[in-house]
Amino acid sequence: MSHSGNQDSASLGKGDPRGDHSDSWADVDEALTLDSAEAGPAVSPGGDNLTDQGDVGGMQNLSSRGTPPLALVETAFLASTSSLLWLVSYYLSIGPWMRIVFPIPIALAYLRWSQRASWMTSVVAGLLLAILMGPYLSLMFFVPYGFLGVQLGAAWKRRASWGWSIGLGTLIATISFFFRIWLISIFLGEDLWAYLTGRITSFIDWLLAMAVDWGVLGLDALGQVDPTTIQLATIAMIICSDVVYLFTIHVAAWLLLDRLGSPIPAPPKWVRVLLDDTGAS
């Protein structure tokens, strides 16, 4: 009896502690598993997720918050193109026709990406020109071509008609002209607008004198030029030249951007007929 009792107690002494320890380790393992599941993906000391699911989620959040790399590359390329066109036109004096293409790269950034990309293109081009040519000439590029590029891109992106986009562009170009006159007057220390209207008045007086000499007009036509009328006529001429300028930008963009995969709204029918007749001849 004593031997069997000792045997039973020994078996209990050997078995029970093992059973208790195995149960406790199972509970600890289960608790650690639950804690790791609630804590989420493992993170390295540098802050990088160690699980594939965490990596995928982090990349998705980064792409949703940031700008696509292709948009940044195209923005830099279009900004450098705009600044290079301005630089070449200024130093080589190729001709005023290059003014037509100045705002097109900025508008293309709007068509391909967004308003933010277009503003980035305009600002980066201005910064490049400020480094290469100085802040004065950089500002002369930004006003009006930077604003015109964003405005034209927004109008073309929304498929506005040529009348609306040309009208808004003319308004921006006219305001920008007077801003540039004011800025140049500050640098020169002279009222450039008064000088411009004075030269136009002298030219009209010369025309009237020639008409009097030829007998087309009488002597009473001399000295009848009103300065206010001259100023209004000058403003009207500026507006007409801006309308023609915006129209040529639209024609160039319609012919060019369609080949680049970013077409603008179709022109009016009479413009298409005119261009078809010109191409046929």
pLDDT of residue 154: 96
Domain count of the fold of the chain: 1
| pLDDT higher than 90, residue 242 | yes
CATH number for the domain that contains residue 169 = 1.10.1760
Which residue has better confidence, 102 or 64? 102
Phi, psi of 265 (to 5 degrees): -55, 150
Helix extents (H) in the chain: 2-39, 52-65, 69-92, 104-112, 115-133, 135-141, 147-157, 162-188, 192-213, 227-257, 269-280
For residue 214, being part of any structural domain is answered with: yes
For residue 55, being part of any structural domain is answered with: no
Segment 77-94 shows an average pLDDT of: 89
For residue 130, being part of any structural domain is answered with: yes
For residue 91, being part of any structural domain is answered with: yes
For 173-184, how does the pLDDT look when each residue is reduced to its tens digit (9 = 90+)?
A: 999 999 999 999
For residue 20, being part of any structural domain is answered with: no
For residue 62, being part of any structural domain is answered with: no
For residue 9, being part of any structural domain is answered with: no
- List of residues 6+ apart from 272 with CB closer than 8 A: 266
Determine the structural domain holding residue 107 and report its residue range: 69-280
Are the beta carbons of 174 and 239 closer than 8 angstroms?
yes
Which residue has better confidence, 115 or 3? 115
For 152-203, how does the pLDDT look when each residue is reduced to its tens digit (9 = 90+)?
A: 999 999 999 999 999 999 999 999 999 999 999 998 888 999 888 888 888 8
Per-residue confidence band for 106, with pLDDT thresholds at 50, 70 and 90: very high
For residue 164, being part of any structural domain is answered with: yes
